[in-house]
Amino acid sequence: MLTKALNILNQTLPGPAAQAHCDGPCGVYDPASARIAAEAGLSMTKKILALEPPANTDGAAWAAYLNTMSRYVAIKEEETHTAKRELLVLWTDYFKPHHLEAYPNLHDTFWKATKLCSAVKVEVSLTHAQELMTAIEEIHNMFWASKGRDVPYYTAS
């Protein structure tokens, strides 16, 4: 009877989850996913800076301007958050303590890269968006070197 009551309790009011699984049992990691998202953030930053507001008070022109600007901002928010998430997964799940011996600046590089993701999201900063790309290139080089593979870095744009 006690067991039955506890089963009902567990089914109706489950406790907070304590994770007992692997984020990536497949073991497939690639900094390219972070690079693509960061590149989208850089592209949106450029587009936001280049978008000219209407010179007149025409309602339709302003509506179009605000609509376009909102879309740019929304995409920048979403993509830089994705970049941050991808970097955190790579940092916490792929890299292991022994990698620190080969790459002593690993933690610092990831920490700065994830902070830059936040900066690109919060600001409209071409400088920070480009610094983020540079940080991701460093991570790309560390990642593939740790696998003993020579994979050249490239960008889509």
Partner 1 sequence: MTKAEAEIHRPPLSRAPVGELIRWAVGRRKRFRVDGRSMRPDLDDGDHVLVRMSNRAIAGNIVVCRHPFKTDVYLIKRVEGVNAEGMMLRGDNRAESTDSSQLGRIPWVHLVGCVTFKI
Residues of the shown chain interacting with partner 1 in the complex, contacts defined by CB under 8 A: 2, 6, 9-10, 14-25, 88, 91-97
Decide whether 24 or 68 has the Cβ nearer to partner 1: 24
Taking the complex as a whole, the smallest distance from the CB of residue 139 to partner 1 amounts, in Å, to 15
- Cβ atoms of residues 140 and 153 within 8 Å: yes
Between helices 106-122 and 126-146, what is the axis angle to 10°? 150
Shortest distance (Å) from residue 7 CB to partner 1: 8
Q: Which lies closer to partner 1 via its Cβ, residue 24 or residue 155?
A: 24
Is the CB of 16 or the CB of 152 nearer to partner 1? 16
Phi-psi region of 27 (alpha: psi -120 to 50; beta: other; left: phi over 0): left
Q: Is 53 left (phi over 0), alpha (psi -120 to 50) or beta?
A: beta
Closer Cβ to partner 1, 80 or 114, answer by number: 114
Q: How far is the CB of 66 from partner 1 (least distance, A)?
A: 34
The answer to whether the beta carbons of residues 109 and 139 sit under 8 Å apart is yes
Q: How far is the CB of 1 from partner 1 (least distance, A)?
A: 12
- How far is it, in rounded angstroms, from Cα 22 to Cα 114? 22
